[in-house]
Amino acid sequence: MKYINRIAASAMLVVVAFGLATFAQIKFFPQTADDNPVTRIVLNIESWTS
């Protein structure tokens, strides 16, 4: 059971790290966002909601 908690914590850490990196890329380097598939998804969602 303890391994499942470690794996879940590691997965969450990776997700948070990707989220922060994506946010930073959109915020500070929007011209490079086309290279990152995650930023494309985020920008598409933002365009739907606005």
Contact 33/25 with Cβ under 8 angstroms?
yes
What pLDDT was estimated at residue 48? 77
Tens digits of pLDDT across the chain (50 residues) = 778 989 999 999 998 988 888 788 777 776 766 666 777 777 777 777 65
pLDDT value, residue 38: 73
pLDDT given for residue 12 in this prediction: 93
Distance CA 36, CA 13 (A): 19
Q: Where are the alpha helices (DSSP H) in the chain?
A: 2-28, 37-49
> Which residue type occupies 17?
A
Residue keyed to tokens 């995650």: 38
Q: What is the pLDDT of residue 13?
A: 92
Query: What's residue 24's pLDDT?
Result: 80
What whole-number distance in Å separates Cα of residue 33 and Cα of residue 27?
Answer: 10
Residue 7 corresponds to which amino acid?
Answer: I
